[in-house]
Chain A
Amino acid sequence: MRLCDCVDLLAAEVLVPAKDMETEIRVACGADLMSDAMAFACSTNEMMLTGLVNLQVIRTAEMMDVKVLVFVRGKRPDPTMVELACEKGICVLRTSNPMFTACGLLYQAGIQGKGA
C-alpha cells in the first residue's frame, strides 16, 4: 500500500513528510513498549504505530530502520522529536484513531505484521 494511501486511510496529519510519499508500505507493527518492538518486530517493519510520545520512540525507529512512525490516539510529538525525525529521515504521521482501529484499518488494507 502506498504511504499516501495510508495517510488517507488513517485520516492522518503529516508532521514530517517522506521523501517519496508514494513509497510502498508492506509491513508494520504497533507497540508502546520500545523493547518489545525491538524484540518481536525487529525484522522488516516499514511502519511503526505507537501511543508513546518521547524522544526514544524516534531513536528506536532509527535503530530499527523504521521509515514511518504513526502516533495514534491523537498524540502529538513535541518539536524536538519532529526535528530529530526530520534529521533521521523518518516520516511522522499523527492520527486520532486509537491503536486497535489504526492497526485494523491498515491490516484490512493489506499491510502485514512480522512473519506474514
Chain B
Amino acid sequence: MLPVHLQFPIRGGDFHSAGEASSGMKKALSKLGVDPSAVKRASVAMYEAEINAVIHAGGGEADVEIFADRVSIVIRDHGPGIPDVGLAMQEGWSTAPDAAREMGFGAGMGLPNIQRNADDLTIDTRVGEGTALTILVRFHRPAPTAPGPEA
C-alpha cells in the first residue's frame, strides 16, 4: 500500500552500477501504474542526480517515497558540496572529470535537466560536508493504490 518507501545505495566512481537506483525507482513507479510521462520525468531527474553523486561526490544514497499523487526523491551525498549553486545551474557549466565525459556526461546539463523534469527541486548544500537534492515529481493522474513492489 502507498506510500512506498525505497532506499538505494549509490557507489562513488562506479560507472558500471550507476543508474541502478534510478532503474529500481522506475520499475517501482511503473509497477504501481503511475502515468508514463511522470515516470519518465522522475527517472530522468533521478538518473542525472545519481550520476552527479557518482561523478562528483564519491557516492551517497537515494531515498524515494511514492505517494498516490507524487514521488519525492532525495539524493544525499557526503561530497565536496556546491560552492556556487547559481553557477552550477547554468547549462554548460561543469567541473566533471574526463571519465565522466567519456561516459557521455559532464556537459553541464545535469542540474538544469533535473530542474526541467522536476515540479520542485531543493538543493541543500554545504561546502566540505555534502549535498542533498530533493526532487518532487507530481503525477498527472493518481497512482492506483497497489501493493508495494517486491523487495
Contact = CB atoms under 8 A, between A and B. Distances in A.
Contact of B105 (A34, A55, A62, A64): A34
A112 interface: no
Nearest to A65: B40
Interface stretch (B65-73, B76-84, B110-118, B127-135): B110-118
B104 A65 contact: no
A65 B48 CA distance: 15
Given A55-B16, A59-B23, A59-B47, A35 B110 contact: yes
A55 B103 CA distance: 8
A57 interface: yes
Nearest to A42: B44
24 contacts: A33-B104, A34-B103, A34-B105, A35-B48, A35-B104, A35-B106, A35-B109, A38-B113, A39-B112, A39-B116, A55-B15, A55-B19, A56-B19, A56-B104, A56-B105, A57-B104, A60-B47, A62-B26, A63-B26, A63-B40, A63-B47, A64-B40, A65-B36, A80-B16
Interface of B: 15-16, 18-19, 22-23, 26, 36, 40, 43-44, 47-48, 51, 91, 102-110, 112-113, 116-117
Contacts of B36: 65
Contacts, number: 74
A8 B18 CA distance: 34
Contacts of B16: 55, 80
Contacts of A34: 103-105
B104 A63 contact: no
Contacts of B109: 33, 35-36, 38-39
A34 B19 CA distance: 13
Contacts of A37: 104
B102 A54 contact: yes
A59 B18 contact: yes
Contacts of B44: 38, 42, 63-64
B105 A35 contact: yes
